[in-house]
Amino acid sequence: MTILAVILFCLATVALAVYGVHLYVLLWLVHRRGDQRGRIQRQTIEAFVASTPDEDWPIVTTQIPLYNEMNVAERVIEAVAAMDYPPGRHEVQVLDDSTDGTGRVVDRVAERLRSRGLDVQVVRRTDREGFKAGALAAGLAQARGELVAIFDSDFVPPPDFLRQAVPLLVCDEGIACVQGRWAHLNPRETWLTRAQALGIDGHFGVEQGARCWNGLLMNFNGTAGIWRRKAIEDPAVGGWTGDTITEDLDLSYRAQLAGWRFDYCKEIACPAEIPGDIHAFKTQQRRWATGSMQVARKLLPRVWRSDLSLVQKIEATFHLTHYSVALWMLLLLLTAQPMLSIWLEHPRMSQWFWIAWVWILGSTFAPSVLYTYARYSLGGGWSGLKVMPLLMTLGMGICANNALAMLRGLFVSGGEFVRTPKSGSTSHQRGHTAYAATQSHLWIVELSLGFYALTSSAYYFAADQWASCNFLLIYAIGFFAVGLASRPRRPAARDGQAIRQEPLVDVSPA
């Protein structure tokens, strides 16, 4: 057991240090190219708008995939239909797989918009085969646009989205997709939304720009972006597929492996609702963690066999395996207490032991620096510093949920696309939803890990190791916060059914 604890502790230490250094590299990359790329994009957009008459703008189809989204369906359809674009050249396509009253809302809104002369089509299927990927593919087969924008139900696109995004695609035939930035409709609703908003800002304020503007592989985020239809239908790409539950990441990498390029425009901000419920957030994180690892398992061998540069291959590996950080965090916690006992019994190991903890603490600062810089670069000043403790608490507390989901992605292909319930919350009004996210018994494990972390912190306190003691205390706070928030609630309706309790790990076949 001693050897196993040492091995796992060393693996976790090295992995977390490496991923921490990777964040510093991304910071340097985005700082190096951000301003220059932004100026070029603005010039491209302004020149195209000034020189192109309305009749020469390409036809665009905007797809809105829906599945039981009664709270937000009308809002997103109205917002998409209100986008500024030349008359007759914008088709709105609502891909409605709903099994509840959402269909009636969709039909009513679509009919009202059609009566105003807008092109709004509703596409329905007899089943949910392929889930979101299947719906997008079915809609594409009927679409008339040469460019395809996509918005999930929790988004409210700005009126000028197409006027800004289309020129970036049209002016460069090699670009397959332009991704916009996610902004926030309800960032101050709860401590949970405050933390998530900062985390999202880190991705769109640093990570996407660092990859895109330096020739590295990036991803379409599933919404708030616009595709060249030719790229999706390219035989070398293969179109939308449902063999992973992150169809957006999968298609993004297949397109780039086929030679297409992506662009990211930080200035195209698309507000979206952030999950204000811990179970909805966990559902979303499980889908992203599982899907990312499924794509890594599916496409990393192709990445390393491709003609991409070594730097591109390494960054793609970091990108697709990022959710493994949750596993390394969990292993670090579980081995911290045994490692202290080993050190006390074998003082000669103390030098290497404390070097390891220095690496860990150094890598811990990397997310703080990245998220603070991202919020600052997006015009939020130094507010990231105030929110960072909340994000650290959430990050520690969610690592068991994400580690289990990531492990599932390593061994299980496909699976059900479990959508994140929406409430319709905005900065002015807190929404309420009849939908409830699936609950699980993981809260028991999270509270147990909280007690374990607290005990480990006490051991380090007794050994006068203050820095490590405080680090483990953050684990305890995180697991207690997430575990207590995840306790069972009174059964409520979930798409017409009672909430079901899930096992800790779903190992059902795809």
Catalytic site residues? 97, 248
Structure tokens at 463: 């050994």
Please report where in the chains the tokens 């192109």 appear, as a residue.
52
What is the rounded distance in angstroms from the CA atom of residue 337 to the CA atom of residue 331?
A: 11
> Is-contact 370 23, C-beta < 8 A?
yes
What is the rounded distance in angstroms from the CA atom of residue 419 to the CA atom of residue 289?
A: 14
- Amino acid (one-letter) located at 324: S
Which residues neighbour 202 within 8 Å (Cβ) at sequence distance 6 or greater?
367, 370, 371, 374, 375
Instruction: Quote the strand ranges of 445-502, DSSP E.
Output: 493-494, 497-498, 501-502
Length of the chain: 510
> Is-contact 421 305, C-beta < 8 A?
no
To the nearest 10°, the Cα dihedral for 264, 270, 271, 273? -70
Which residues neighbour 63 within 8 Å (Cβ) at sequence distance 6 or greater?
93, 95, 136, 139, 140, 143, 148, 149, 150, 151
What is the rounded distance in angstroms from the CA atom of residue 457 to the CA atom of residue 450?
A: 10
Structure tokens at 379: 């015009």
> Is-contact 287 245, C-beta < 8 A?
yes
What is the rounded distance in angstroms from the CA atom of residue 332 to the CA atom of residue 328?
A: 6
Concatenated DSSP letters for 259-277? T-EEEEEEEEEEEEPPP-S
- How many alpha carbons lie under 13 Å from residue 278 in its C-beta half-sphere? 22
DSSP state of 155: B
What is the rounded distance in angstroms from the CA atom of residue 181 to the CA atom of residue 235?
A: 29
What is the rounded distance in angstroms from the CA atom of residue 404 to the CA atom of residue 79?
A: 37
Structure tokens at 23: 């964040």
Structure tokens at 371: 């998220």
Opening angle at CA 367, ends 475 and 215, nearest 5: 145
What is the rounded distance in angstroms from the CA atom of residue 197 to the CA atom of residue 193?
A: 6
Structure tokens at 223: 């919404």
- Point out which residues pair with 233 in neighbouring strands: none
